[in-house]
Amino acid sequence: MTRLLPVLFLLAAGLARADEGMWTFNNFPSELVKARYGFAPSPEWLKKVRLSAARIAGGCSASFVSPNGLVMTNHHCVRECVQQLSTPQSDFIVKGFYAATAQQEKQCPAFEVNKLVDISDVTDAVMRVVQGKEGAAFRDAQRAEIARLEKACATAPDIRCDVVTLYQGGMYNLYKYQRFQDVRLVFAPEEAIAFFGGDPDNFEFPRYDYDVSFVRVYQDGKPAKLDDYFRWSPQGAQPGELTFVAGHPGGTSRLLTVAQLQYQRDYALPERLVQLAQLRGLLDEFQQRGPEFTRISNNLKFGVENSYKALVGRREALVNREFFATKVAEEQKLRDWVKADPERQKRYGQAWDNIARATDTLRDMRIRLRILEQGAGTGSDLFGYARQLVRAAEEQAKPNEQRLEEYAEARKPELEQQLFSPAPVYPKLEEALLTFYLTKLREQLGPDDPVVKKVLGKQSPQALARKAVAGTRLASPQVRRQLYQGGAAAVRDSKDPMLELVRSLDEEARAIRKRYEDQVDSVIDKNGELIARARFEAYGTSIYPDATFTLRLSFGQVKGFEHNGKQVEPLTRIAGLFERATGEDPFRLPPSWLQARPRLDLQTPFNFVSTNDIIGGNSGSPIFNKDAEIVGIVFDGNIYSLGGEYGFDESLNRTVSVHSQGILEGLRKVYNARRLLDELGQGGGG
């Protein structure tokens, strides 16, 4: 191996000393775990854990916890399903849901669970087709090869295949999943206990949340039969105990260049925070109109508030001069190592500068890119359906290798599940979101912009939004299906006002997307790949790749931390829940918990923290011991973990989980969930 500079060796050694890392299953540092904790996960152990973990398409993690398809995840990961199944007469967000019999389990609209069944290395195949190419040629060749690999792998509708880019393009893996699209709700507690403490307690600790829910995956109309699943720990998490988290961290930016981090700090994060703050204000006003307005918008508001607080934490990390200086020094030391050898300098030396120039290009196009393409519609379901129909009609007429990646053949089952979802659409909320979007379109591009003139004409944003929502028929899944199956002609000839709105934007949206992919994304991919190769020469695979919403395994221990000069203990207990309750939102307990108080063992552990390295997307991950037994479920990180987007500090970063014993105590004594307890092998008692 190439000789390391002393500082690079020290950086690698520093990593090895910490419980840091979102490791892939085909490169897990078992010997490092053994050195720290005396236990080395074997290949058999890793395979069992991999097959027992699950992913919820759309941004969460989960785990299989019975041989009959039972899946455990967070309440906030099934919240959208719970809201979609609710009605004004029966609001499961408020009162909770429990299927006491199999017949009472309710199917979630547009809900998909994935199980990772195989990982293969396809680096050579992708590298071969992009070798020597730049810009659009690089992007087109890469996209075509990825589409080919995914299509060849996805041999049945219940198989999903994704080519995953690792180490900023230094490695490509093909992940093969078994997909479950018939998913039914089994249990969800009241939101008042699942998100007890609300936004004030979010990303804090001590915590007292019962953020757990259960769904079931079905095959051919029957509960899926599974050979691999997690059993339950007899005692749950104990202080100092070795813990593992198997989940799907959505994305980290620990390997970004300084130029990319500066862009995040100075442009992307501040502008996104302004937009979220404005959207939160809109939703606050919307909810003042009445209880039903609150019910239909609560899920969106939850997501907005959660994102806002998370992004504030990320920006605080980047504006911390000391922290940012460490990122600058880390990059400079690798660049100095490259410069020290003329051959290395020739191969890799220009990569950082090329990425910096591409980032400057992104800075100049960012507003148009965001408003026309990446953030178009501001979450409007009807706008989203219209865009899917317009683009599917055009893309599916192309060869698979030339399509936009979300319309490739391997993604078709996911697209169709979303497009044909029977989830309810709320016209008043749609009108508010679309008005917000069109107002921002005019504000950010200017009233004289040709696209703005084309879209709005003489109409105000509110008038156009009202007309599009009132006149569209896309709220009907049957109408969407007919248009989709009718192909390009049916979509083109339709006079539906929502389709017309999307069509008026789509040419410019596609143009800015292509410019971004050709001038920014492909340049960053190509040069990120070069930097990754330099890292490989220096470190090999002793470092882990950035998160990509693919299955990772982290290790750590149950351990408290110091906050404001005080030691925070690692466990909370049910007694603290009642002490913290005030009777007013967001510290109001639901009646079920107040009534159950005399029956509860108040000393039962409720929430706990550990040093496991996680990030957004790990919500719902199982946290388990060396015997692969559930000791809890991850639902959050502490405030220090928000900087985990860019780096990890073992002394402060903490994963926050619901304790397995607290879960059982609630199921047994609050919800009398006997069928569920029996299935978990925890029936009787109490």
Strand partners, 185: 106, 215
**pLDDT tens figures, 70-97:** 999 999 999 999 999 999 999 999 999 9
- Among 36, 14, 53, 534, residue whose Cα is nearest residue 249: 53
Q: What separation in angstroms does the CA of 1 have from each of 108, 141, 536?
A: 52, 31, 10
- Give residue 443's Cα distance to chain centre: 30
pLDDT for 168: 87
**pLDDT tens figures, 586-609:** 999 999 999 999 999 999 999 999
Q: Check if the beta carbon of residue 39 is closer than 8 Å to that of residue 33.
A: yes
Q: Check if the beta carbon of residue 139 is closer than 8 Å to that of residue 525.
A: yes
**pLDDT tens figures, 2-46:** 222 223 333 333 444 579 999 999 999 999 999 999 999 999 999
Q: Which residue has the higher pLDDT, 585 or 1?
A: 585
Paired sense of beta strands 561-563 and 566-568, if any: antiparallel
Domains with residue ranges and CATH for the chain: 6-112+181-253+545-679 (2.40.10.120)
Q: What's the whole-number mean pLDDT along residues 614-626?
A: 97
Cα dihedral 471, 474, 475, 476, rounded to 10, equals 120
Distance CA 192, CA 589 (A): 6
**pLDDT tens figures, 532-570:** 999 989 887 788 999 999 999 999 999 999 999 999 999
* Percent above pLDDT 70 for the chain: 97
Indicate the average pLDDT of the chain.
95
Q: Which residue has the tokens 């190509």?
A: 526
**pLDDT tens figures, 377-397:** 999 999 999 999 999 999 999
H/E run at residue 338: helix 321-339
pLDDT for 4: 29
Residue 186 φ/ψ, nearest 5 degrees? -110, -45
**pLDDT tens figures, 288-344:** 999 999 999 999 999 999 999 999 999 999 999 999 999 999 999 999 999 999 999
Q: Which one-letter amino acid corresponds to residue 280? A: R
Distance CA 364, CA 34 (A): 49
Helix or strand or coil: residue 188?
A: strand
Distance CA 246, CA 554 (A): 7
Tokens of 120: 């293969």
Q: What's the whole-number mean pLDDT along residues 51-60?
A: 96
pLDDT for 536: 87
pLDDT for 538: 86
pLDDT over 90 at 642, yes or no:
yes
Distance CA 344, CA 637 (A): 40
pLDDT for 684: 64
Q: Check if the beta carbon of residue 271 is closer than 8 Å to that of residue 250.
A: no
**pLDDT tens figures, 265-302:** 999 999 999 999 999 999 999 999 999 999 999 999 99
